[in-house]
């Protein structure tokens, strides 16, 4: 596949902190490529370097095989950017914001008004066209921000956590908009800390943590690899002992199993061979845990993520609550 962006050993240091640590990857034309990782992994910093909003400490960026590391501004006409915090004007209406963005790209007045209307329609914001941006809901704001990033027909779209902090219905709409744009040929680079979102949207992903890429590949391949494993979830009412103590005990008694907590009431067991659940159930019962159900499950990207990164799902889920 033809690469549109290639990044080599990209690094960003803030004094003593290395926010992005020598990462390398490429984005192919026409794909949706995602950065999946917890808070502070370095996702926003990476995007900011790619779009010319953060100074690069080290490394190189290529656009269609041309080194653009020191001239990113020149390439800004080819990209659309949807930052994690909207960059639109609170006092302007939706229509005015889009017209204003179009004017920044030198689009003629008659054309920009038609374009603004067209985008408001596509993003189902026509009814709010003449309302001020500040009166918009978070979901509407994000949709208008995406619309604004597209007025100059960019070749690549960068989205930083497009659905974080947004209601379920708007999130679904935004995901489907991103899919549609991609089906019409748009190359997309997005960041997310929602594993499910990465699984639904991306063709390829990089798992990123503490400024480093831990693993990079096709979502499909990650899932196929993990499908070789057997996974059982054990659902219980509550545990009288501390979660970490319980995990330690489980690991000692069943060294062949990978054990982790999926949530407060569910333990996940992974093994490359068939799992005999009855000794596990007996073990848990003898520790005062009342089991409600044990079931075999189909592996998802979530399982691959935990296996490959060693990051507990709790860490990713906590992000949701925080934001
Ligand atoms: N302007 C800055 N000055 C100093 N440290 C920063 C700055 N921006 C980000 N960082 C730090 O860099 C790391 C990566 O941050 P960021 O790229 O925002 O992560 P993410 O988007 O994955 O949550 C974090 O530890 C963050 O605190
Ligand atoms: Mg971020």
Q: State the CATH number of the domain containing residue 202.
A: 3.40.50.300
Residue where one domain finishes, among candidates 219, 249, 268 = 219
Residues 205, 7: Cα–Cα separation, whole Å: 14
Give the mean pLDDT of 236-254.
Answer: 90
Q: What's the sign of the alpha-carbon dihedral 278, 281, 285, 290?
A: negative
Distance (Å, whole) CA 105 – CA 44: 24
Banded model confidence at residue 298, pLDDT cuts 50, 70, 90:
confident
What are the Cα distances from residue 17, in Å, to 6, 13, 21, 42, 55? 24, 6, 10, 11, 15
Shared-domain flag, residues 154 and 267? no
Residue-wise pLDDT tens digits, 255-264: 999 998 888 8
Indicate which ligand has the atom closest to the C-alpha of 208. Answer: 1
Backbone angles phi, psi at 314, to 5 degrees: -50, -40
Mean pLDDT of 111-124: 95
- Tell whether 60 and 208 lie within a shared domain: yes
What range defines the domain where residue 18 resides? 3-219
147 with 169, same domain: the answer is: yes
CA angle 149/140/321 to nearest 5° reads 105
Q: List all residues 6 or more positions away from 24 whose beta carbon is below 8 Å from its beta carbon.
A: 7, 8, 9, 10, 59, 213
Ligand 1: which of 15, 16, 42 to mutate, judged by most atoms within 8 Å of the beta carbon?
42
**In this model, does residue 318 exceed pLDDT 80?**
no
Residue nearest to atom 20 of ligand 1 (CA): 40
Q: Does any ligand 1 atom lie closer than 6 A to the CB of residue 17?
A: yes
DSSP code for 17: E
Q: Which two tokens stand for residue 18?
A: 């290395």
Does ligand 1 have an atom closer than 6 angstroms to the CB of 39?
A: yes
Cα distance between residue 277 and residue 281, in whole Å:
6
The total domain count for the chain is 2
d(C-alpha 314, C-alpha 322), whole Å: 12
Q: Does residue 264 sit in the same domain as residue 180?
A: no
Q: Are 56 and 69 contacting, i.e. CB atoms less than 8 angstroms apart?
A: yes
Instruction: Give the pLDDT band (50/70/90) at residue 323.
Output: very low
d(CA 134, CA 38): 29
Q: What's the pLDDT tens digit per position in 76-93? A: 999 999 999 998 999 999
Tell me which of 163, 197, 219 is where a domain ends.
219
Question: How far is ligand 2, taken at its centre, from the CA of residue 60, in Å?
Answer: 21
């Amino acid at each position: 596949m033809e690469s549109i962006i290639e990044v080599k050993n990209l690094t960003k240091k803030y004094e003593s902190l290395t926010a992005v640590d020598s990462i390398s990857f490429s984005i192919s034309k026409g794909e949706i490529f995602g950065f999946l990782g917890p808070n502070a992994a370095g996702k926003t910093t990476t995007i900011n370097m790619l779009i010319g909003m953060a100074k690069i400490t080290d490394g190189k960026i290529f656009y269609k095989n041309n080194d653009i590391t020191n001239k990113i501004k020149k390439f800004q006409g080819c990209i659309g950017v949807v930052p994690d915090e909207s960059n639109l004007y609170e006092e302007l209406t939706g229509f005015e914001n889009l017209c204003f963005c179009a004017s920044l790209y030198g689009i003629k007045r008659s054309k920009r008004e038609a374009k603004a209307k067209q985008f408001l329609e596509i993003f189902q914001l026509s009814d709010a066209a003449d309302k001020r941006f500040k009166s918009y809901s978070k979901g509407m704001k994000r949709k208008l921000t995406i619309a604004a990033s597209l007025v100059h027909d960019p070749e690549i779209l960068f989205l930083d956590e497009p659905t974080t902090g947004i209601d379920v219905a708007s999130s679904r709409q935004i995901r489907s908009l991103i899919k549609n744009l991609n089906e019409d040929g748009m190359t997309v680079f997005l960041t997310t800390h929602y594993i499910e979102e990465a699984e639904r949207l991306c063709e390829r992903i990089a798992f990123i943590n503490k400024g480093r890429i831990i693993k990079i590949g096709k979502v499909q391949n990650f899932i196929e690899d993990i499908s070789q494993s057997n996974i059982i979830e054990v659902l219980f009412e509550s545990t009288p002992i501390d979660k970490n103590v319980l995990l330690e005990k489980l690991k000692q008694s069943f060294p062949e199993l990978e054990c982790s907590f999926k949530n407060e009431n569910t333990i996940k067991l992974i093994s490359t061979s068939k799992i005999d659940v009855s000794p596990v159930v007996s073990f848990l019962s003898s520790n005062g845990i009342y089991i409600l159900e044990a079931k075999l499950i189909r592996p998802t990207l979530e399982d691959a993520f935990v296996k490959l990164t060693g990051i507990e799902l709790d860490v990713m889920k906590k992000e949701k609550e925080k934001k």
